[in-house]
Amino acid sequence: MRLKYFFSETVQNLRRNLLMTIAAVSTVAISLLLLGGVQVLGIMVNRMTTDWEAKVEVNVFLLQDATENETQALQTEVSKMTEVEDVTYVSSREAFLEFSADYPELATGLTDSDLPASLRIKLADANEAEEVADRIEGAPGVDEVRFGGDIIKRLLQVNALLRTVTLAMSVILMIAAAGLIANTIRLAIYARRDEIGIMKLVGATNWFIRIPFMLEGLFAALVGAAVAVVVVLGGNWLLLSRLPEAFPFLAPVLDFSSGELLTVAGLLVGVGGLVGLAGSSLALRRFLEV
Amino acid sequence: MIKLIDVVKDYKGDIRALDNVSLEVTKGEFVFIVGPSGSGKSTFLKLVTKEEDPTSGDVFVAGKNLGSLPRWRVPYLRRNVGCVFQDFKLLPNKTVFENVAFGLEVIGRPRSVVQRQVPQILELVGLGEKLDRFPDELSGGEQQRVSVARAFVNRPLILVADEPTGNLDPATSVGIMRLLDRINKTGTTVVMATHDHAIVDSMRRRVLQLEHGKVVRDQSRGIYGVGT
């Protein structure tokens, strides 16, 4: 019986206060849409920076007269470092073949032995490049260590900044969305404070008063979140997923997995629902004190 | 049924609404609280419903000390105290039936009880034919009857009425008083704050007169009083 009361009360109130319901739903939808947009942007930034960082490697050029033993020892030692993901030995000949494939006109006149052999090190975290390079520097058989130096450092700074900015934006937007939704609910409740006053006077418990309002808030928030999710996913499907056809280089940045999209959708619904519930119960608190 | 012991109530800004009031209302009594505006009548009623807490002193309602009543018990206190107001406080978007039913639904009464009791009580207050009207389709007297029905549908031990006839003409007021009298005869204690001389004088019930927050007269079978 109680469930029936709560349900019919909720439906009735949503219908009778249609304008307020529409206002709440669209507020939630717009706030969450912004949040969703930033989330998608965040995924893009993350993709881009991860992609860049994966390309960061440390090149250890070996001396021409480095012995087999020295090379072996170095490779073993480097591969033991925790920061290092993978080490490949590139012989002089392999280096020459690669070089002449990349720059055929420059390779004329060079022989196999003109290019030094090297170790190519892939890192677990691009931020460790300088440290790893420093440690290898001066080891027996090593001629020179290169890791891209300043450019890498600059890139890493930019990446960190981009990540911080998108994170900050989503936090700010989340707070703004929460505030907007809570405020809309408060207006809806304010319009019905007489009703709440009477409920209190005839002896309704606070939870009895609260539940229909919270269900209304939850309902409005979830519908709004659903609208936002549809727009985000639709936008991705119509626009973003088609861009790589025209601009293939965007593919690694824009080709979202369904897991990533589900995460965004889940976040929007979760934030929407939570804020709807919390917003309505917070907004009610003032009116329940009598 | 209601007992006040040395009750003082101050509002913000050093306004003393009740000044050392001690009194007792026994079960089944009908009591008028009279006195000019600002004498503390409404404050007294609000202490009974625990809308306000006394600054000092104790308030007992139905044997319970309201000062030590935890917040979550307050709704259960109010189910034993029906309230009627000068401005009716009906919900304009609900019908007569729904307004009265609301009083039962929000305290979790099952549907079958609501369906049975609401028409009964509306018959009692003389509105058996107007269940589906909205408040703005009723006269002031009829609206007040709905409000009395809502306060009484739950069979409270106490009915408090704050100027229930304040917005009504004398003839209509008499009808409301008859209704309150009938409710009182069922054993419900009725406490009514009023300005209305004619009503108090014709009913000849106990009169408590307040002035500047003090009880200046407590008279059984009293009249509104001289000089006021």
Task: Give residue ranges of A with CB < 8 Å to any B CB.
Answer: 1-2, 4-5, 16, 194-195, 197-206, 208-209, 290
**How confident is the model at residue B106, as a pLDDT?**
81
Percent of chain B exceeding pLDDT 70 equals 99
Tokens 């030590």: give the residue. B68
Mean per-residue pLDDT, B71-91: 91
Cβ separation A194–B91 shorter than 8 A: yes
CB pair distance less than 8 Å for A209 and B106 = yes
Quick one: closest CA in B to A193, which residue? B91
**Contact assignment for B75 to A206 by CB distance below 8 Å:** yes
Beta-carbon contacts of A49 under 8 Å, excluding residues fewer than 6 positions away, are: A159, A162, A163
Residue B52, pLDDT score: 92
Provide mean pLDDT across the span A186-195: 80
Q: What residue type is assigned to position A68 of the chain?
A: E
What is the residue type of B95?
T
B66: which DSSP letter? G
Chain B nearest C-alpha distance from A213 (Å): 13
Query: Per the CB < 8 Å rule, is B107 touching A203?
Result: yes
C-alpha to C-alpha distances, A120 to A78, A86, A88, A89, nearest whole angstrom: 10, 8, 5, 6
Tell me the pLDDT tens digit for each residue of A46-60.
787 777 777 778 888
Residues paired with B194 in a beta bridge: B34
Q: Which helix (H) or strand (E) holds A78?
A: helix A68-80
A200/B78 CB distance under 8 A: yes
Intervals of CATH 3.30.70.3040 along chain A: 57-147
Q: Which residues of A touch B107 (CB under 8 A)?
A: 202-204, 208
What is the per-residue pLDDT for A1? 52
Does A117 have pLDDT greater than 50?
yes
In this structure, whether the domain defined by A57-147 belongs to CATH 3.30.70.3040 is answered with: yes
Is B91 in CB contact (< 8 Å) with chain A?
yes
Q: Is B77 an interface residue toward A (CB < 8 Å)?
A: yes
| pLDDT class of A280 with cuts at 50, 70, 90 | confident
Question: Edge to edge, what strands does the sheet with B206-211 contain?
Answer: B81-85, B158-162, B189-194, B30-34, B206-211, B214-219
Q: What is the pLDDT of residue B215?
A: 93
**Contact call for A199 and B105, based on CB within 8 A:** no
Q: Which residues of B touch A209 (CB under 8 A)?
A: 106
Residue A131 near residue A83, CB atoms below 8 Å: yes
Q: Do B154 and A203 touch (CB under 8 A)?
A: yes
Is the pLDDT at B171 greater than 70? The verdict is: yes
Determine the residue among A202, A205, A208 to mutate to test chain B binding: the one whose Cβ has the most chain B Cβ atoms within 10 Å: A202
Mean pLDDT of all residues in A263-274: 87
Q: Does B87 touch chain A (CB under 8 A)?
A: no
Q: What percentage of residues in chain A have a pLDDT greater than 90?
A: 1
Sign of CA dihedral B212, B217, B220, B224: negative
CA distance A16 to chain B (A): 9
For residue B77, the chain A residues in CB contact (below 8 A) are 203
Contact A204, B103 (CB under 8 A): no
pLDDT, tens digit, 9 for 90 and up, residues A54-88: 777 888 888 887 788 888 888 888 888 887 888 88
Whether residues B102 and A205 touch (CB distance < 8 A) is answered with no
Helix (H) or strand (E) holding A77: helix A68-80
Of A131-135, A223-227, A272-276, B117-121, where does the model show the most confidence?
A: B117-121
- Which is nearest to B151 in space by CA: B164, B168, B132? B164
Task: Report the 10 Å Cβ neighbour count for B156.
Answer: 21
Chain A residue numbers touching B106 (CB-CB < 8 A) = 199, 202-204, 208-209
CB contact under 8 A, B91 and A198: yes
pLDDT at res. B228: 47
* Neighbour tally for A67: CB within 10 Å: 12
Convert B66-102 to b/e letters by CB count within 10 Å (16 or more is b). Answer: beebeeeebbebbbbbbbbbbebbbbeebbbbbbbbb
Q: Determine whether the interchain pair A197/B89 forms a contact, defined as Cβ–Cβ distance below 8 Å.
A: yes
Res. A106 pLDDT band, cuts 50 70 90: confident
